[in-house]
Structure 1
Amino acid sequence: MPRPYASGIVPGDVEQVWRRVRDFNSLSSWHPAITHSEIEPGPGAGEVGAIRRLTLADGGVVREQLLTLDDVDHSYTYRMLDGPFPIRSYVSTIRLAPVTATGDTFVEWWADYDADAADEEKLTTTFADGVYATGITGLTNG
């Protein structure tokens, strides 16, 4: 099972960055590839079970469900329910940690997913670079 991964340093202390990231409905406010986000009826954006509907810059739609939310570990895990990617399963985690030497925040983001072998290389690059690295850069610039 492939594991796309990206990490980076975001200016600001971990609590400050976590406030931006924690809201499961906030992705469109800091990720440049997401033009709109809304929480479907049911659990709210800060509750396990929440489902967000994301509109991508190219018009595609992705639906994701929050599986875990950990304020101590500054992380959450979610799964993709629907989307334009040829995958059979996808579970992703974003986690923040303090950089004690500088007061900044280390952000890492990864997923485990299942897809046909012929699609894995392209999907891994798409997720690692186009989703995670782009999002971390969005946090850095925002």
Structure 2
Amino acid sequence: MARAYASAVIPAPAEQVWELVREFNGLPDWHPAIASSEIESGRSAGEIGAVRLLGLPDGCGAIRERLVALDDTARSYTYDMIEGPFPIRTYRSTITVFPITATGQAFVEWFGDYDAEAAEESKLEQTFGGGVYAAGLKALVERFS
């Protein structure tokens, strides 16, 4: 298993950041790489097992992800990618929002563990860590600045 990781300090209280990030169907509201999101499977966006269909910009494809854990107390959720354009066998990702008590800001970490061919791992780490996680966190910093 390989891991991609990104983190950032967001200039807003953790509760405020979590309110935005928590919405499993809300990625298009703050992530620049997600054009659309639709909940499938007849469940609500906050229900374990909900599946979201993410549309990429310019019709470049789609990703399906299933919510596997949601913890409002820990301000965290975990999801599995069940279909997408990446050469992976498995993928599980978690995003968590922590309070920085000394400053009143939020610390957000986003990581994913995935199984892929060894030759693909470095490229996927850049794609997930930089292209997905870091890009999303940068957008959160800009939104709350």
- By the TM > 0.5 criterion, same fold? yes
> Structure 2 matches for 1:77-92, cutoff 5 A?
77-92=78-93
> Structure 2 matches for 1:49-88, cutoff 5 A?
49-58=49-58, 59-88=60-89
- The 1-side partners of 2:39 and 2:117 are apart by 30
Q: Unaligned stretches of 5+ in structure 2?
A: none
* SS across alignment from 2:88: coil
The residue aligned with 2:16 is 16
1:89 is displaced (CA, Å) by 0.1
- The 2-side partners of 1:24 and 1:86 are apart by 24
1:41 is displaced (CA, Å) by 3.4
The residue aligned with 2:110 is 109
- The 2-side partners of 1:64 and 1:41 are apart by 11
TM-score after normalising by structure 2:
0.95
* SS across alignment from 2:130: helix
The residue aligned with 1:119 is 120
1:26 to 2:26 alignment: yes
CA deviations over 1:3-49 (Å, ceiling 9, x no partner): 10000011111111000011100001100000111111321101111
* SS across alignment from 1:88: strand
The residue aligned with 2:41 is 41
TM-score after normalising by structure 1:
0.97
> Identity over the aligned pairs, expressed in percent?
58
The residue type equivalent to 1:23 in the other structure is: E
- The 2-side partners of 1:19 and 1:57 are apart by 24
1:5 to 2:5 alignment: yes
- The Cα RMSD (Å) is 0.8
Q: What is the count of residue pairs matched by the alignment?
A: 142
- The 2-side partners of 1:42 and 1:88 are apart by 26
The residue aligned with 2:134 is 133
The residue type equivalent to 1:85 in the other structure is: F
Point out 4+ residue stretches in structure 1 off by more than 3 angstroms. Answer: none
The residue type equivalent to 1:97 in the other structure is: F
